Amino acid sequence: MKLDTAANLLAKIGNPTRLKIVRLLVRAGDEGLPVGMIQKKLEIPGSTLTHHIGHLKSAGVIRQDRHQATLICKMEFDLLRELVDYLTAECCADVAAADDAA
């Protein structure tokens, strides 16, 4: 993952309401949640939810699948894992380098 991509993803997720949506969808697993259920759990107006879901979709963080009349939001777990891997890729690298130098 490139720095600019990671920064964009973090910016999109970095809003408190969007972070709540992401956490709900992570908890829901691969099945996702209907938009109406997300709205009910977060207790926010539909237009506000639509706005935030649009940001998450544009970043590729979530996708939506339609099942008859129901719109299901699903987390893009591969992208989330890639972001976490990018953030932690060099974990403790300076500690190991300091140990080698000592």
pTM (2 d.p.): 0.88
Quote the pLDDT of residue 78: 97
- The answer to whether residue 42 scores a pLDDT higher than 90 is yes
Quote the Cα angle for 33-2-81, to 5°.
35
Helical packing angle, 35-42 and 16-28, nearest 10°: 120
pLDDT-derived band at 97 (thresholds 50, 70, 90) equals: low
| 101 vs 31, higher pLDDT | 31
pLDDT-derived band at 57 (thresholds 50, 70, 90) equals: very high
pLDDT tens digits along 69-86: 999 999 999 999 999 999
Enumerate domains of the chain plus CATH numbers.
3-101 (1.10.10.10)
